[in-house]
Structure 1
Amino acid sequence: MADISRRDLTLGAVGAYAALGHENSITFVDAAHAQQLASPPFRNYKVGDIEIFSLIDGMRDVPLRDGMVKNVGVDRVQTVLRSAGFPDGQAPLRFIVMALKLRDQIVLIDAGTGGHPIYGEGNGRLFESMAAAGLDPKAVKTILVSHLHGDHIYGLMNNETNAQVFPDAEIVVPAAELKWWTRPGVETLDLGPSRKGLALRIQATVATWKNVRTFEGEPELLPGVHAVQVPGHSPGMVAHLVTSGSKQFLISADVVNFSPHISANPEWQLAIDQDPQMAADTRKKIFDRAVADRLTISGTHWLMPNVGTLSRDGNGYVFAIES
């Protein structure tokens, strides 16, 4: 696993939140995208015998800022956003939680924002979306965590008391992530407004809970579900590869966390990534694997519907939405 320096981490995180404008209030989705809010808050797919759900936890547009993409000017970013149908000066921010239906149990891939106020109003809709999809939170027996950023784990804990939301579920966490967030001095780093206090909260919750299991490498975490190391956005982030029969579905976490460059601009280096160059390298590696292995692929912050396939197109890729 790569060792991300204190300097790189701090510059990446601070630059990201300045670029995204998280020190200001985040606006609701523009009216042009209101139909997404009105549509069902989930999509479901079949992978062999496994049913997979994309569950909306929150939707926003955030102010577009110079520096959001480190190696591309803001005018180019604006052009891509405009061609995707977004209003000038706004960038899409989506929060999606994936769920697997395995026989009599529900497995969550991450747990969303938990409605934490740092992510603005309207987030924390996971239980609402689960209800719409016919999924009972009490049936959640396992939660597979991709990485320990707040928008992926705050749904595990009560905002006021830190009490567990899923006390009867096993929580499976990459060891490299937990080690990084509990190492001495990490709580003193300035990681930007939305990660303020994150290390201390992890140390008081996930690091102490008896129902947390850590792992190294790329093991099979559950029957048919393997971890795939995808460093860059965070030190120990993993994706989850779901296999049933001849079908494979890659839940890629934050390999891409800025929707308009899912396929056409994989080389963009995002300030939100802790190591932007490593994240770009990982992105292209994962995309090439998705093409070569004919994977169905999705991601946490992709626009809904967030499931499809990739094919090569010169130096980029074409993303085809799965119906």
Structure 2
Amino acid sequence: MITRLKFLGVGIAAAASFMFLPAWAQSAPDLGVPTLPAPGFKKLKVGEMEVISLNDGVSRRPLVAEFVKNAPLDEVKALLTSQNLPTEYIDIPFNTFLVVNGNQRYLMDTGFANNGGPTTGKTIENMAAAGYKPEDINNVIISHFHGDHINGLLYKDGSLVYPNAKVHVPAGEYAFWMDKDRLEKAPAGLKAAMTNAQRVFSKIPADRLVKFESGSEVAPGITSVAAFGHTPGHSLFTVKSGGQTFIYVADITNVPALFARNPDWAVSFDMDPEMARQSRRKIFDMIVKEKMMAGGFHFPFPSMGTITPSGNGYQFNPVK
């Protein structure tokens, strides 16, 4: 799979420079501080299962021309204005998702734990408010290896945040980021990102690490969906029970007010923008056709809702 992907060094470095520098997770003081949701969790029944969105925090960053790689900044600001959103900055939420199926609890992605800025790392306290502790988590399912999705596996001191959990990862994603030869040849931005991924997963005990192929069943009722482009092995997950379906779309779109409404726009974080665009269109079409509920890592809280067609793109409609 990886050999078919043509990830350009410039694109990778640009994505990595945004995704992995600590400043990315911190609020810019001259832009004010983002408001965090309270409560920071939301529960949704999906048949016999329960999906709980957990806000890990919000990052505020200046809106610059490089954020959308293939659209003029004026057009980007115009689309934000049409939705009564600020144009000087972008608020980027981080949301993890806990799926409860009987005595099995699956956390999808991790956020930052205590590795990010002051307005991040809120998953554990919001998990507690929802009635669960880190020790209750049996499984962590990772969509891809960008730092905001994996850094919450470990505390700063290197100890495991979820000591009783198996960690499920896409096989293709693992192969890409853990490749020592690729690390040696990587440009600076990618090298930093790969070093981070290898640091995190070197701490996961081998008997706790489970690799899955994209498209396979990760657990009863939970199936992975290939959505490559954002990263080489970027994977989404459907949760099906009692004739209902929820899909966790991870980073299929970053800031839905921009990239769901305009799926052909490319965010700086996409490592292969054209492949990411194709995946985005395909996934949104599937969600609409199959009437799925959807949740996204960077969706505005409560980060779950429906997707409906809107112009040349789609509209995220949050649950009440």
Scaled by the length of structure 2, what TM-score is found? 0.90
The question of whether the paired residues in 2 share the 8 Å contact of 1:67 and 1:73 is answered with: no
Structure 2: gaps (5+ residues) = none
The question of whether the paired residues in 2 share the 8 Å contact of 1:21 and 1:63 is answered with: no
Partner of 2:138, secondary structure, is strand
Q: How much is the aligned-residue C-alpha RMSD, in angstroms?
A: 2.5
Match for residue 197 of structure 1? 195
1:244-323 maps to which residues of 2 (within 5 A)? 244-323=241-320
The question of whether the paired residues in 2 share the 8 Å contact of 1:45 and 1:51 is answered with: yes
> Equivalents in 1 of 2:253, 2:19: separation in Å?
15
Amino acid at match of 1:178: Y
Pair 1:184-2:183 in alignment: no
1:75 CA drift (Å): 1.4
The question of whether the paired residues in 2 share the 8 Å contact of 1:225 and 1:243 is answered with: yes
- Range with greater deviation from structure 2 (128-137 or 193-202): 193-202
- Range with greater deviation from structure 2 (16-25 or 281-290): 16-25
The question of whether the paired residues in 1 share the 8 Å contact of 2:214 and 2:235 is answered with: no
The question of whether the paired residues in 2 share the 8 Å contact of 1:305 and 1:321 is answered with: yes
Match for residue 90 of structure 1? 89
Amino acid at match of 2:27: T
> Equivalents in 2 of 1:204, 1:32: separation in Å?
34
Amino acid at match of 1:149: H
1:71 CA drift (Å): 1.1
Runs of 4+ in structure 1 over 4 Å off: 17-25, 28-33
Identify which of 216, 225, 228 aligns with 1:231.
228
Structure 1: gaps (5+ residues) = none
> Equivalents in 2 of 1:121, 1:192: separation in Å?
25
Partner of 1:113, secondary structure, is coil
Amino acid at match of 2:125: E
Deviation by residue 1:264-319 (Cα, 9 ceiling, x = unmatched): 11111112111111111100000000011111111101111211112223422233
Amino acid at match of 2:144: H
- Range with greater deviation from structure 2 (22-31 or 138-147): 22-31
Match for residue 27 of structure 2? 27
Identity %: 31
> Equivalents in 2 of 1:216, 1:250: separation in Å?
17
1:211 CA drift (Å): 0.5
> Equivalents in 1 of 2:68, 2:290: separation in Å?
29
> Equivalents in 2 of 1:89, 1:16: separation in Å?
21
The question of whether the paired residues in 1 share the 8 Å contact of 2:34 and 2:58 is answered with: no
1:18 CA drift (Å): 5.8
The question of whether the paired residues in 1 share the 8 Å contact of 2:76 and 2:258 is answered with: no
